[in-house]
Amino acid sequence: MSLESLIEATLAGLGYELVDMSMSVKSGQLRVFIDKPEGITLDDCTLVSNHLSNWLVVENIAYERLEVSSPGMDRPLKKLADYQRFMGEKAQVKLRVALAGQRRFIGTIHGATETQIELDVDGQLIKLDIANIDTARLVPSL
């Protein structure tokens, strides 16, 4: 199993969702972004940080520094479940390969299947292949 899969399973046991993670080989910094339906508090980050610190030692996984935080208001969308959960919310999507000469789209998530998401961009429904999505994030409504 990959480190990401192991951390995801560990967090699920605590009632948290792994939104994203990164490990810097150069600095040894492990960044973990967590969420739960009620949102994340500082206490949640502390609890998960303490748990993961102990877990990483037991599993003999080398790291220098651990950072645990919420995904923020501009939360990344990575999995099909993310698009389905945030249906009706505004998202910014950047494609790997341009569609009709355009790589960046901002619109409301209208639908999501295993292979495509559908965005309402200014009243026009646009289908984007999930395999072609480079990055996708929620657009905070302030």
* Residue 98: domain span: 80-138
Q: What is the pLDDT of residues 43-75, one digit of tens each?
A: 999 999 999 999 999 999 889 999 999 999 999
**Are both 95 and 64 inside the same structural domain?**
no
Distance of alpha carbon 82 from alpha carbon 73, whole angstroms? 14
Q: What is the pLDDT of residues 1-23, one digit of tens each?
A: 789 999 999 999 999 999 999 99
- Encode 17-39 in three state secondary structure: EEEEEEECCCCCEEEEEEECCCC
- Rounded to two decimals, the pTM is 0.84
Distance CA 115, CA 132 (A): 10
Residue-wise pLDDT for 20-48, tens only, equals 999 998 898 999 999 998 999 999 999 99
Asked if the structure places residue 105 within a domain, the reply is yes
Please indicate, yes or no, whether residues 45 and 15 belong to a single structural domain of this protein. Answer: yes
Same domain? For 87 and 118 the reply is yes
Domain's final residue, options 69, 96, 119: 69
pLDDT over 90 at 93, yes or no: yes
Percent residues over pLDDT 90 in the chain = 89
Q: Looking at residue 25, what is its pLDDT?
A: 86
Provide the domain count of the chain. 2
Residue 75 lies in a domain: no
Distance between CA 91 and CA 87 in Å, rounded? Answer: 10
9 lies in the same domain as 63: yes
